[in-house]
Amino acid sequence: MSNQGNPFCGRTNRRQHLIDLGLGFGGLALGSMLAQDGWAGSRQAPSTAWHSRQATAPRAKAKNVIWIFLSGGVSHLETFDPKPLLNQFAGKTFEETGLPNPQKLPIYLERSRSVVGMDREVVSTIMPLQVDFQQYGQNGTWVSNWLPNLAQVVDDLCIVRSMYTTDNDHNAEFQFQNGRHSLDEQQPCIGSWISYGLGSLNENLPQFVFLGKYSDNRVKRNFDANYLGPQHAGVELSLDPNNPLPFGRRATDVLEEEQRAQFELIHRWNQLAAAEHPDDEQLRARIRAYELAFRMQMSAPEVLGLQEESAETLSLYGLDDPTTELYGRRLLTARRLAERGVRYTLVYLSDYGEWDSHSNIKELHAKCCGRVDKPLAGLIRDLKQRGMLDETLVVCATEFGRTPALEKTSLNQAGTGRDHHPHGFTIWMAGGGVKPGYVHGSTDELGFHAIEHPHYVTDIHATTLHLLGQVPSQLNYPGRKRLEIDYGNVIHDIIT
């Protein structure tokens, strides 16, 4: 193509000018898509997902996912997996119980891999349960007294008591999202695979949204698309309808009409650049991000504004209580995003490590439960009464549980808490094609190892993708080889 008539000839190439101009627009920095300008040099993403056609895709039971994460390690023993023997053997070591010592079983080492280069100090003195339990629902499911609201909707929950992971440090949080131990090559997170495989239901909103606050930049790994490219990364939204994009917004001295004209100019330049560089996926991905950012400035404030919600709905999520207001607002926003076609919303429902109760677990876990119990139950009730629960899959997870033994080590002499426990823990799901009022799998008599139907974290990924109509084992990226464990196994027992 000739440079004759090109106003930028001799100054800079068209593509670079396009990028420079685009990056000058306040309000176009769309989360991780535009926060890191260096991504484009080494990554090329296809415009559509690549699937092997060797397997027939299942019928989709869910349209979208609300994935809730409780950071720090929720004690399965004080929430959904009570073990009466902990009270009976309180103060005794594992050896003194007469039961097989769970720390000496082969499975203990098979599922353990230290990230810090050394094993955590081994503790074996049993700690009693710190809260009472009652049975609820048609099947008499045991639920902690710290979760009275979730107890009332237990017939809508599908509880998986047999999860395990291999990281004994908080990097297990990221392992739950991308399936890989932190010492291994990282992979795209589950939300990015969903975005890559399914595309968008609403062209005015991202396919993958992150809601929450993080003070530790490592948390960004929870919504990292890795080699799938930033167009499939989670887009962080704040809860402020006046400033929904934390990474920027349209400058106050730029009118909407002016910005629209700028975008139209960019679009014309993009067409010219596409003719010169027809295989330039980097440029196309960047332009798509700009265009989405512009549309989001119109649509995001409406989603985040809760004025149209009734007082009853706000109260259902706990927005009328300072203790639960923030947590309820995040979950209500997640419902509104799902309602408008966002495929996957990751709700970071706690601060980083908030549930990490190495000491004083009785007080700390009771407080944490009090913050999220009503909002979580409110989300289930709200989705159900709106007819959305059948097509919205809710996943509520944590990175690991807490050990049956009390933590009394050189780093913690109090003996009032529980340490990290990746060997067996609990998550729950609801809606979207999973069995309601159902409990799947179990840990051993002391709550140590996942023994009945044990599931590594990618089994939840596989099940989620299956419910969305995808074949997990056939979802790949050209030129990138995944390990068998990355695909996971669909948990058919929990699917309706």
Please give the pLDDT value at position 56: 81
| pTM, rounded to two decimals | 0.84
Q: Are 105 and 449 in contact (CB under 8 A)?
A: yes
Q: Which CATH architecture has domain 19-38+63-494?
A: 3-Layer(aba) Sandwich (3.40)
Q: What is the 3-state secondary structure (H, E, C) of the chain?
A: CCCCCCCCCCCCCHHHHHHHHHHCCCCCCCHHHHHCHHHHHCCCCCCCCEECCCCCCCCCCCCEEEEEECCCCCCHHHCCCCCCHHHHCCCCECHHHCCCCHHHCHHHHHCCECCCCCCCCCCCEECCCCCCEEEECCCCEEEECCCHHHHHCHHHEEEEEEEECCECCCCHHHHHHHCCCCCCCCCCCHHHHHHHHHCCCCCCCCCEEEECCCCCHHHHHHHCCHHHCHHHCCEEECCCCCCCCCCCCCCCCCCHHHHHHHHHHHHHHHHHHHHHCCCCHHHHHHHHHHHHHHHHHHHHHHHHCCCCCCHHHHHHCCCCCCCCHHHHHHHHHHHHHHHCCCCEEEEECCCCCCCCCCCCHHHHHHHHHHHHHHHHHHHHHHHHHCCCCCCEEEEEECCCEEEEEEEEECCEEEEEEEEEECCCEEEEEECCCECCCEEECEECCCCCCEEECCEECHHHHHHHHHHCCCCHHHEEECCECCCHHHHCCCCHHHEC
User: CA–CA distance from 109 to each of 166, 296, 389, 494 (Å)?
Assistant: 9, 48, 40, 28
Q: In this structure, what token pair is assigned to residue 169? A: 């440090």
Q: Are 227 and 478 in contact (CB under 8 A)?
A: no
Q: For tokens 């082969």, what's the residue?
A: 106
How long is the chain? 496
CB-count burial class (<10 Å; 0-12, 13-18, 19+) for 385: exposed
Q: List, in order, residues 6 or more apart from 78 with CB less than 8 Å away.
A: 129, 130, 131, 144, 146, 361, 365, 402
Please give the pLDDT value at position 52: 46
Please give the pLDDT value at position 231: 84
| CA pair distance 133, 77, nearest whole angstrom | 10
For helices 325-339 and 281-304, the axis angle rounded to 10 degrees is 120
Q: For tokens 């010492």, what's the residue?
A: 183
| CA pair distance 236, 246, nearest whole angstrom | 7
Residue 264: what residue type?
E
Please give the pLDDT value at position 48: 46
Q: List, in order, residues 6 or more apart from 264 with CB less than 8 Å away.
A: none
Q: Are 405 and 419 in contact (CB under 8 A)?
A: yes
Residue 266: what residue type?
I
Q: List, in order, residues 6 or more apart from 151 with CB less than 8 Å away.
A: 134, 136, 143
467: number of Cβ within 10 Å? 26
Please give the pLDDT value at position 327: 97
Closest to 349 in 3D by CA, of 161, 224, 173: 173
Cα torsion through 72, 171, 233, 284, rounded to 10: 160
| CA pair distance 375, 372, nearest whole angstrom | 5
Can you list the residues of the chain whose pLDDT is less than 70? 1-55, 114-120, 214-217, 244-252, 254, 256, 259-260, 263, 266-267, 270-271, 273-274, 277-295, 297-298, 411
